[in-house]
Chain A
């Protein structure tokens, strides 16, 4: 019984991850600016990667059909989820900081930019 509940919860999480992936990919194409696309990337990594990884671990825990190696899937999924959780924000941070410092992408349209006023391109 408890195994069935775990499998159903895991499948729901995998489905949520797929939908979040689609939303993030659409946002990645629709947003106009590098700094705006960072939001879409965060949706894609946390909701689109972390959640289905935990879901897959739950499915593997509850399903006897994978045999005795299913704990391998559980452990690997949780380790991967932890790695995504710590590495993805750090990578995005390094990339955004380097981009802003090098002046590669202007902030446009902009209200205020406290870090560097020259990067701010006011609208109109």
Chain B
């Protein structure tokens, strides 16, 4: 039951949880707004990575790799090849969801950057502790 690949996959997931915790720490406790934006991008990327890992398929045998969800020889494909493709490809649904999430994350980050720039033009600082006028 316990195999080397299980251990390695656990290492990957544990590292991603660690990244998530570090990014959350950065968002909560770092006072500078630019650092908060950087931590936010890292958080989004890590969340996307979790979705990809959920859709991954382990190698069936040690030398038969799982394939990307793209049918290569689509002209005159036979039924057997199609069944083999279905039995070796990874899950395409998380990839499709993450694909749009990345582009929209970039658009939202651009919006946040404009917001930070406007704050700097108005208050002359980006440190949260110094922006007293935003309180109340």
User: Is B134 engaged at the interface, CB distance under 8 Å to the other chain?
Assistant: no
Total count of chain B residues near the partner, CB < 8 A: 2
Smallest CB gap from A67: residue in B? B73
B52 to chain A, nearest CB (A): 23
**Which B residues are CB-close (under 8 A) to A69?**
72-73
* Minimum Cβ distance to chain A for residue B104 (Å): 29
A67–B72 Cα distance when bound, in Å, is 10
Chain B residues, Cβ within 8 Å of A68: 73
Distance of A63 from chain B, by nearest CB (Å) = 15
Chain B 22-50 interface mask (CB, 8 Å, partner A; 1/0) = 00000000000000000000000000000
B130 to chain A, nearest CB (A): 29
Q: Scoring B residues 72 to 85 as 1 if CB is less than 8 Å from chain A, else 0, what string do you get?
A: 11000000000000
| Residues of chain A within 8 A of B73, CB atoms compared | 67-69
- Among residues 60 to 87 in chain A, which have CB atoms less than 8 Å away from a CB atom of chain B? 67-69
List residues 67-122 of chain B with CB under 8 A from any CB of chain A: 72-73
Q: Which residues of B contact A67 (CB under 8 A)?
A: 72-73
Docked Cα-Cα span, A69 to B72, in Å, equals 8
A68 CA to B73 CA, complexed, in Å? 8
* Minimal beta-carbon separation of A48 from chain B (angstroms): 25
Residue of B nearest to A66 (CB): B72
Taking CB atoms, residues of chain A closer than 8 Å to B72 are 67, 69
Chain A: minimal CB distance from B9 (Å)? 27
Question: Once bound together, how far apart are the Cα atoms of A68 and B77, in whole Å?
Answer: 13
A21 to chain B, nearest CB (A): 24
Q: How far is the CA of A67 from the CA of B76 in the complex (A)?
A: 14
**Nearest CB of A to B82, in Å:** 16
Nearest CB in chain B: distance from A69 CB, A: 6
**1/0 per position for B13-26, CB-CB distance to A under 8 A?**
00000000000000
Distance (Å) between the CB of A93 and the closest chain B CB?
A: 28
Distance from B25 Cβ to chain A, minimum over Cβ atoms (Å): 30
| Smallest CB separation, B74 vs chain A (Å) | 11
Measuring CB to CB, which residues of chain B are less than 8 angstroms from any residue of chain A? 72-73
5 A-B pairs, CB-CB below 8 angstroms?
A67-B72, A67-B73, A68-B73, A69-B72, A69-B73
Residues of A bordering B, CB below 8 Å = 67-69
